Amino acid sequence: MSALRAAVVIFGKELRTEFRTRELLNTTVVFVLMILILFSFTMDPTAEESRRFTSGLLWLAILFAGALMLFPSFTREQANDTLDALRMAPVPAFAIVLGKVLANFAFLTLAEWLMLPVFSVLYDVSLVRVLWQMLLVFALGTLGLAVTGTAFSAVAAHARMREMLLPLMLLPLLTPVLIASVEATAALLAREPQFDLTWVKILLGFDVVFLAATYLVADALVEE
> Given the rule CB under 8 A, which residues bind other proteins?
1, 5-6, 9-10, 12-13, 16-17, 20-21, 79-82, 84-92, 223-224
Is the four-CA dihedral 94, 100, 103, 105 of positive or negative sign? Answer: negative
Q: How far is the CB of 91 from other proteins (least distance, A)?
A: 6
**Alpha-helical regions (H) of the chain:** 3-21, 23-43, 47-70, 72-75, 82-88, 93-122, 131-157, 162-173, 175-189, 197-222
Residue placing its CB nearer to other proteins in the complex, 13 or 162: 13
Q: How far is the CB of 84 from other proteins (least distance, A)?
A: 5
Contacts of 221 (CB under 8 A, 6+ apart): 93, 97, 151, 154, 155, 214
In contact, 182 and 55? CB cutoff 8 Å: yes
Residue placing its CB nearer to other proteins in the complex, 82 or 175: 82
Q: How far is the CB of 150 from other proteins (least distance, A)?
A: 18
Q: Other C-beta atoms within 10 Å of 17: how many?
A: 13
Q: How far is the CB of 12 from other proteins (least distance, A)?
A: 8
Of residues 173, 174, 221, 181, the one with CA closest to residue 202:
181
Is the four-CA dihedral 7, 10, 16, 17 of positive or negative sign? Answer: negative
Residue placing its CB nearer to other proteins in the complex, 49 or 223: 223
The packing angle between helices 23-43 and 47-70, to 10°, is: 150
Residue placing its CB nearer to other proteins in the complex, 77 or 112: 77
Residue placing its CB nearer to other proteins in the complex, 58 or 86: 86
Residue placing its CB nearer to other proteins in the complex, 44 or 224: 224
Residue placing its CB nearer to other proteins in the complex, 65 or 91: 91
Q: How far is the CB of 176 from other proteins (least distance, A)?
A: 34
In contact, 66 and 145? CB cutoff 8 Å: yes
Q: How far is the CB of 78 from other proteins (least distance, A)?
A: 9
Q: How far is the CB of 217 from other proteins (least distance, A)?
A: 16
N- to C-terminal Cα distance for the chain? Answer: 22
